[in-house]
Amino acid sequence: MSTEGQERLQTAARRFRALAPPVDDWSLRLVDDSAETLSVRRGVVEPVRLSRDSGLMITVVEGRGVGYGATTDLSAAGLRMATERARAWARRTAALQLVDPAQLARVTAHGTYRSPLEKPWHSLTTGVKLERLLDLALRMKIHDAIVDWSAGLAYHDRETLLVSASGGEIWQRQHVLMPWLRAVANRGTETQIRSFGPDLGGQGGLERLDILELDQQPERIAGEALALLDAPECPSGTMDLLLMPGQMTLQIHESIGHPLELDRILGDERNYAGTSFVTADMFGTYQYGSELLNVTFDPAVPGELASYAYDDAGTRAERDWLIRDGILLRGLGGATSQARSGLPGVACARASSWNRPPIDRMANLNLEPGDSSLEELMGRIEQGVLMDTNRSWSIDDSRNKFQFGCEMGWRIEGGERRGLVRNPGYRGISSGFWRSLAGVGNTASLRVMGVGTCGKGEPNQMIAVGHASPPCLFRDVAVFGGGGS
């Protein structure tokens, strides 16, 4: 069954084929994106926000030149103008191209993809959804010290059509739902925040709210924010660290995902996002982490944020091991980066929307489960801290020296939780940190999460990526609390 968006994109694609320029190669990527955001704050419904975005990018190869033109104008005149601009860039850069056009990915596949979807967004009225958010938010106002409380739902319905001179045609539709709750507690100049959800976005419909047990979170979130006001600062020192999935997502993202991006290794990102401590000679031999470290690129996890069948360069996406038993095997690079570098990669050339060209991105980057329960991991800690929910992140441009902070921590002594601690943070160096991995949670403790705002590229692109992880135990980590160290 075709949708209104699909019809619009197909019509523009047919129009373009009739006008296709006499160039060596071309591809056309069209995006139709509908979004809706509902939120309530302090008992008041915030403005309901709808978004309707449609546009296309034409990429042409002409001789040794490559250029793109992107526009919101899907008419014949708009297509002609965008094509002319792409061709002008191709001609003027033909003698200066970094990449041989023969190395560029070609779109030859035919295929489709749809997100899983049980309860469509529009199966409930806006009014019903707002009532539910008002109730969730109200339940967070459990004390006068809760000074700000909010709940929200963001929904995206994105259709992408990719067609090419080679006859390839790929249509994909992703439904994404992102719920959130947030409670702010304050006393004097001490403010503590607990949140639920921004890192739990995923593909699907309203059924995700039940999967995430959203209704069971408000009092817990607010209660933890309150309790943090009275909690002692996280202890400082070198100790064991147990990271829950809510922090593992960021740890995986920053110190495995980004360093493995082939375009960083190839130098494309050196003026903005940075380079990588990983070098081409490391693939196949480098001990990235302890033998407990197993990381996959898996675009087929149902409901994970960045699942798809083909990347935006038209390459079929499949599950691959990036790190197995601690050994680095494969990078995060699409077909073009693979051809440029001669390194193994995955189908991860992605664009944030129609107005940006594809570059190497994470998609679903998952840390595979081990065999320990959470209790067993805790039981192996004599002196340490458990941390959950990222709130601060910083890492160097080679993705090596990092410092992260979390919303909440628990002191662990003698294998048991001893008390809540506030402002927990830790720092380390990627290349050594993963070798201190001493325990990995089992399948039952695995959580599928994600990062909705991964920034990279010039011009800049913000994109959503999925991360699944169980809790993980690390030995001898520099841990600290508020007040500096």
Q: Kindly tell me which residue out of 395, 446, 451, 479 binds another protein, with binding defined by CB under 8 A.
A: 395
- Contact letters (x/-) for another protein, 275-294, by CB under 8 A? x-------------------
Nearer to another protein, 3 or 460 (CB): 460
Structure tokens at 194: 């607990």
Return the closest-CA partner of residue 174 out of 305, 363, 354: 305
**CA-closest candidate to residue 405, choices 430, 417, 381, 422:** 422
Q: The tokens of 226 are what?
A: 């309150």
Burial (CB count within 10 angstroms: exposed 0-12, middle 13-18, buried 19+), residue 307: buried
Q: Which two tokens stand for residue 391?
A: 């709130």
Closest distance of CB 192 from another protein, Å:
9
- Smallest separation, CB 7 to another protein (Å): 14
* The two structure tokens encoding residue 44: 């008041």
**Six-digit token string for 421:** 């601690």
Q: How far is the CB of 59 from another protein (least distance, A)?
A: 8
Shortest CB 424 distance to another protein, Å: 11
- Find the shortest distance in angstroms from Cβ 428 to another protein: 8
Q: Scanning residues 296 to 355, which ones bind another protein (CB under 8 A)?
A: 355
- With CB under 8 A as the contact rule, the residue among 5, 55, 198, 326 that binds another protein is 55
168 or 482: CB nearest another protein: 482
Name the residue type at position 333. Answer: G
> For residues 376 and 396, which CB has a smaller minimum distance to another protein in the complex?
396
Stretch that binds another protein, among 161-169, 171-179, 371-379, 459-467 (CB under 8 A): 459-467
What is the nearest approach in angstroms of another protein to the Cβ of residue 368?
Answer: 28
Q: How far is the CB of 373 from another protein (least distance, A)?
A: 32
Which of 44, 211, 280, 300 binds another protein (CB under 8 A)? It is 44
Scan residues 245-274 and list those touching another protein (CB under 8 A).
Answer: 266-268, 270-272, 274
Q: Give the residue, chosen from 15, 80, 380, 401, that forms a contact with another protein under the rule CB under 8 A.
A: 401
Distance (Å, whole) CA 430 – CA 289: 9
Applying CB under 8 A, among 112, 238, 443, 485 the residue interacting with another protein is: 485
Distance separating alpha carbons of residues 204 and 123, to the nearest angstrom: 13
Closer residue to another protein in complex, CB, 66/165: 66
Residue 234 in the binding site for another protein (CB under 8 A):
no
The contact pattern for another protein, residues 202-231, with x = CB under 8 A and - = no contact, is ------------------------------
Q: How many CB atoms lie within 10 A of CB 403?
A: 15
Q: Which residue, 184 or 421, has its beta carbon nearer to another protein?
A: 184
Q: How far is the CB of 477 from another protein (least distance, A)?
A: 12
- Fill in the DSSP letter of residue 332: B
Please tell me the distance from the alpha carbon of residue 390 to that of residue 237, in angstroms, as a whole number.
20
Q: Look at residues 79, 109, 50 and name the one whose alpha carbon lies nearest to residue 313.
A: 109
Element holding 411 (H helix, E strand): strand 401-413
Q: Provide CB contacts within 8 A for 376, sequence distance 6+.
A: 439
**Does 429 contact another protein by CB under 8 A?**
yes
Minimum distance from residue 12 beta carbon to another protein (Å): 11
292 vs 438: CA distance, rounded Å: 7
Interacting stretch for another protein, rule CB under 8 A, among 82-90, 172-180, 306-314, 367-375? 82-90
Q: Is 6 in the site for another protein (CB under 8 A)?
A: no
Q: Which of residues 90-119 bind another protein (CB under 8 A)?
A: 92-93, 96-99
Within residues 176-205, the interface with another protein by CB under 8 A covers 184, 186, 189-191, 193
Total chain residues near another protein (CB under 8 A): 85
What is the nearest approach in angstroms of another protein to the Cβ of residue 365? 20
Cβ-based nearer residue to another protein, 25 or 190: 190
Question: What does R_g of the chain's alpha carbons equal in angstroms?
Answer: 24
Element (H, E) at 198: none
Cβ contacts of 90-95, under 8 Å, gap ≥ 24:
90/23, 90/60, 90/61, 90/62, 90/63, 90/65, 90/66, 91/62, 91/63, 91/65, 91/67, 92/65, 93/65, 93/66, 93/67, 94/62, 94/63, 94/64, 94/65, 95/64
Amino acid at 350: R
From 112-120, 319-327, 378-386, 391-399, span contacting another protein (CB under 8 A): 391-399
Token output for 316: 């079929």
226 vs 222: CA distance, rounded Å: 6
45 binds another protein (CB under 8 A): yes
β-strand partners of 63: none
| Nearest distance in Å: CB 72, another protein | 5
